[in-house]
């Protein structure tokens, strides 16, 4: 016992010595040739793979750094990346001030965390798009999907102006992992709307990985990953209080949005409070009013951060989003003439994360996170005055993530972790037939659970003087799916007398418990054959275990019927992507070609008639195509930009086209300033005709729409700054239909001309 005690004391003393013998780097970050302080600049020590963010006064603090030679990188959207080399002695404090140069084009400076570590785009081989906070601020979109849909390779799917989702290179729904601050969003997918339960005013950035990433995120990430991060305040050396008030209006639906944000804190603590209220009436289309398309929602979110010491920090988040009277004009499960809405739907999330920084010289960052999320969905469907159908469900997700960064050497960075989560579904459907005084109760999905435990590791190696970066990743998952016995109909109340009817064999499921085990792997290569020209290559072996809905669902709302299939096999995929990137001072260019092959891809397949679908595995399927983007600063701050994307999906054995594949599409636009007052953005969005469709899928015509956006430069009014944003969407009121929108058998067109304006006061 005495020996163990002495070893423990020596261990504690060693840690204290390691922590004591450290230095720091601090400084101010300003805009080049001005005194303007630059907040929210990402500051990173490349050799240690951790860093900080500048505060509201442009100050940054890097503390508890072991002595050594380091490269400190400074990056911010809209500014050129700056890197400074330092030689830090133990206990030395270095003052390093930096000026950043503005850039009207993107130069790979956007920070991403989807690679499980803080990096910038130009440092990773993944095909990825990032939507910045400044882009979000300028828009008045209703969901993240609307913003993502303008990026190459990404297409928006709509059931309504409020309820939206996305398609990435031909894959959507369960083939995409959706994350909010790194926490999974797990909910039903037959009606779009999971992403609509996120406050747009609270988003800092949106990252979209295009392609398989199961090696980091496990089941579901066969088509891509979307990671939405919310805004977080940064610590400062003195007390601070700042915030903003904004208000916006849209003409197409008389929509309004109002937001209040407050940030406060000091050297040891920070607090954010954010609240938003939105409402909208029915949208106008070139063909008239789109009935039942209005909505109301409100949200509040808070973040509290506490830093008890230089190397330990704690953050606690709470988010509550509530929507009511949300119209759903689309959705294929519904009868053509039915009125469908969300009387109420909500999302509540609680999460906490503890970070341990640089306790040892090799373990630079270790974090432990827990989150709990509850999504409540209530649908009301009225096919006629005599019938009301009310499906409702709770989608409960709990997760824990343990991750650690291990710096083997300056040229070798290892990430490993444990990722465990569980989704629980509890729901029922009630059908009331008033004239018969009859109530039918059944379950659209049995009460069930989906559990996943995965261990992952990723190793990044730099060779040839860091011109070549190799990334190897692997993950092993243990998945358990279980459900209660469910007989449909569950029971019937006939004049308040309870009756247990004979079960429908196609819609009933026995109690079951199934286990899937899988391995996923990936290889990434980034080769800088010139400082500003990079080649990338990605290959991934992916895995997806079918979801609860795919296994067990029973949707019968008087329209198209959907049945699950408990005998589905897991999907397995092989993904390849080859890319070229150019980061010149006046030109930014990216192009990627890809092939995504699957065994046992899950699709809805027609059985019996064109109104009855059942989930089936496709023997072999393949999706292939390209996406590209170009920005050219041809004169001062005048920038031309363009993008294009194409994907084709085929069933290999039958040679049929896969369903829900977007047509060839692209964008062309120009941005330019008018003196020192406003920036103007004029763009066109082009979609070709889609005639490569699956059996019984409807073709859609091509179209072009034009948009105009104007935003003022910040107007200084003493202690406050004023920003004004305005624009016109679909300038010429074009009639068009989105090929991927799941409208129920009728050709509902998208909203028409929309004039919008927003004012933001920053204090």
- Residue 245 makes CB contacts below 8 A (sequence gap 6+) with 259, 260, 261, 760, 761, 763
Question: Per residue in 716-753, pLDDT tens?
Answer: 898 899 999 999 999 999 999 999 886 545 557 899 99
Question: Per residue in 585-618, pLDDT tens?
Answer: 899 999 999 999 999 988 877 776 667 888 888 8
What is residue 9's predicted lDDT score, i.e. its pLDDT?
46
Q: Which fold has domain 1-102?
A: Immunoglobulin-like (2.60.40)
Question: Per residue in 522-574, pLDDT tens?
Answer: 999 999 988 899 999 999 999 999 999 999 988 877 667 888 899 999 999 99
User: What pLDDT band is residue 466 in, cutting at 50, 70 and 90?
Assistant: confident
Q: What's the mean pLDDT when you consider all of the chain?
A: 90
Looking at residues 93-97, what average pLDDT do you find?
90
pLDDT above 50: residue 15: no
Output the six-digit token pair for 40: 């929210």
What is residue 12's predicted lDDT score, i.e. its pLDDT?
42
Alpha helices in 35-113 (DSSP H): none
The backbone torsions φ and ψ at residue 435, rounded to the nearest 5 degrees and listed phi first, read -65, -25
Question: Per residue in 684-694, pLDDT tens?
Answer: 999 999 999 98
d(CA 623, CA 616): 18
What is residue 698's predicted lDDT score, i.e. its pLDDT?
85
Domain ranges of the chain: 1-102, 224-762
Q: Which fold has domain 224-762?
A: Maltoporin; Chain A (2.40.170)
Looking at residues 141-166, what average pLDDT do you find?
91
What is residue 536's predicted lDDT score, i.e. its pLDDT?
97
Q: How deeply is 571 buried, as exposed, middle or buried, from its count of CB atoms within 10 A (0-12, 13-18, 19+)?
A: buried
What is residue 13's predicted lDDT score, i.e. its pLDDT?
43
Q: Which helix (H) or strand (E) holds 721?
A: strand 720-729
pLDDT above 60: residue 385: yes
DSSP 353-404: EEEEE-SSSSEEEEEEEEEEEEEEEEEEEEEETTEEEEEEEEEEEEEEEEEE
> What CA–CA distances, in Å, run from 55 to 33, 39, 97?
20, 5, 14
Alpha helices in 39-196 (DSSP H): 133-138, 144-148
DSSP 476-544: EEEEEEEE--B-SS-EEEETTEEE-PPP-GGG-B--EEEEEEEEEEEEEEEEEEETTEEEEEEEEEEEE
Tell me the chain's radius of gyration from C-alpha atoms.
Answer: 26
Q: How long, in residues, is the chain?
A: 763
Looking at residues 459-463, what average pLDDT do you find?
93
What is residue 197's predicted lDDT score, i.e. its pLDDT?
93
> What CA–CA distances, in Å, run from 59 to 25, 65, 305, 438, 730?
11, 18, 18, 68, 42
């Amino acid at each position: 016992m005495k020996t163990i005690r002495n070893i423990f004391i020596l261990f504690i003393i060693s840690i204290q010595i390691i922590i004591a013998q450290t230095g720091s780097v601090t400084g101010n970050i300003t805009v080049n040739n001005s005194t303007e302080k630059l907040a929210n600049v990402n500051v990173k020590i490349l050799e240690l793979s951790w860093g900080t963010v500048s505060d509201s006064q442009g100050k940054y603090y890097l503390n508890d750094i072991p002595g050594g030679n380091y490269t400190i990188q400074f990056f911010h959207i809209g500014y050129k990346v700056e890197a400074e080399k330092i030689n830090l002695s133990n206990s030395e404090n270095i003052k390093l001030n930096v000026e950043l140069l503005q850039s009207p084009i993107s130069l790979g400076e956007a920070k991403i965390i989807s690679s499980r570590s803080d990096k910038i785009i130009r440092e990773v081989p993944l095909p990825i798009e990032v939507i910045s906070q400044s882009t979000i601020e300028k828009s008045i979109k209703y969901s993240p999907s609307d913003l993502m849909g303008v990026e190459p390779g990404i297409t928006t799917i709509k059931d309504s102006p409020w309820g939206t989702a996305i398609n990435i290179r031909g894959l959507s729904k369960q083939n995409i992992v959706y994350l909010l601050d790194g926490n999974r969003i797990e909910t039903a997918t037959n009606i779009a709307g999971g992403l609509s339960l996120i406050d747009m005013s609270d988003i800092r950035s949106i990252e979209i990985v295009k392609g398989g990433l199961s090696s980091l995120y496990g089941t579901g990430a066969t088509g891509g990953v979307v990671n939405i991060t919310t805004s977080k305040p940064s610590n400062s050396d003195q007390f601070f209080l700042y915030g903003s008030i904004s208000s916006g209006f849209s003409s197409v639906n008389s929509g309004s949005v109002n937001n209040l944000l407050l940030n406060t804190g000091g050297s040891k603590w920070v607090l954010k409070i954010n609240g938003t209220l939105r409402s909208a009436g029915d949208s106008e289309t070139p063909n008239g009013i789109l009935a039942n398309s209005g909505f109301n929602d409100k949200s509040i979110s808070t973040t509290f951060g506490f830093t008890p010491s230089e190397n330990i920090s704690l953050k606690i988040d709470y988010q509550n989003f509530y929507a009511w009277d949300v119209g759903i004009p689309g959705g294929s499960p519904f009868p053509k003439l039915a009125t469908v809405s969300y009387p109420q739907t909500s999302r509540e999330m609680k999460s906490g994360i503890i970070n341990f920084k640089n306790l040892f010289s090799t373990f630079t960052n270790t974090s432990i996170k827990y989150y709990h999320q509850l999504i409540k969905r209530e649908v009301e469907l009225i096919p006629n005055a005599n019938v009301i159908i009310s499906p409702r469900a709770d989608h409960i997700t709990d997760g824990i993530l343990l991750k650690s960064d291990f710096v083997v050497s300056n040229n070798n960075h290892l990430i490993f972790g444990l990722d465990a989560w569980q989704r629980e579904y509890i729901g029922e459907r009630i059908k009331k037939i008033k004239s018969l005084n009859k109530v039918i109760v059944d379950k659209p999905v049995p009460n069930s659970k989906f559990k996943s435990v995965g261990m992952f590791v990723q190793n990044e190696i730099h060779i040839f003087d860091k011109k070549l970066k190799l990334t190897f990743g692997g993950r092993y998952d243990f998945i358990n799916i279980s459900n209660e016995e469910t007989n449909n109909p569950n029971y019937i109340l006939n004049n308040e007398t309870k009756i247990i009817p004979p079960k429908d064999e196609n819609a009933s499921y026995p109690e079951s418990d199934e286990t899937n085990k899988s391995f996923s792997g990936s290889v990434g290569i980034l080769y800088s054959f010139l400082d500003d020209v990079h080649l990338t290559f990605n290959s991934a072996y992916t895995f997806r275990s079918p979801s609860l809905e795919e296994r067990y669902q029973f949707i019968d709302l008087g329209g198209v019927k959907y049945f699950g299939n408990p005998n589905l096999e897991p999907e397995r995929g092989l993904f390849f992507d080859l890319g070229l990137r150019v980061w010149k001072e006046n030109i930014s260019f990216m192009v990627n070609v890809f092939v995504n092959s699957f065994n046992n891809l899950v699709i809805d397949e027609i059985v019996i008639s064109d109104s009855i679908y059942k989930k089936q595995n496709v023997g072999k399927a393949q999706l292939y195509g390209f996406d590209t983007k170009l920005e050219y600063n041809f004169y001062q701050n005048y920038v031309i930009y363009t993008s294009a994307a194409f994907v084709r999906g085929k069933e290999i054995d039958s040679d049929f086209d896969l369903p829900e594949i977007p047509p060839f599409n692209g964008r062309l636009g120009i941005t330019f300033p008018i003196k020192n007052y406003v920036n103007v953005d004029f763009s066109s969005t082009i979609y070709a005709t889609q005639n490569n469709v699956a059996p019984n899928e409807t073709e859609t015509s091509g179209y072009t729409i034009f948009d105009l956006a104007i935003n003022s430069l910040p107007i200084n009014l003493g202690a406050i700054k004023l920003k004004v944003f305005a624009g016109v969407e679909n300038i010429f009121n074009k009639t068009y239909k989105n090929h991927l929108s799941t409208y129920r058998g009728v050709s509902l067109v998208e909203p028409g001309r929309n004039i919008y304006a927003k004012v933001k006061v920053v204090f």
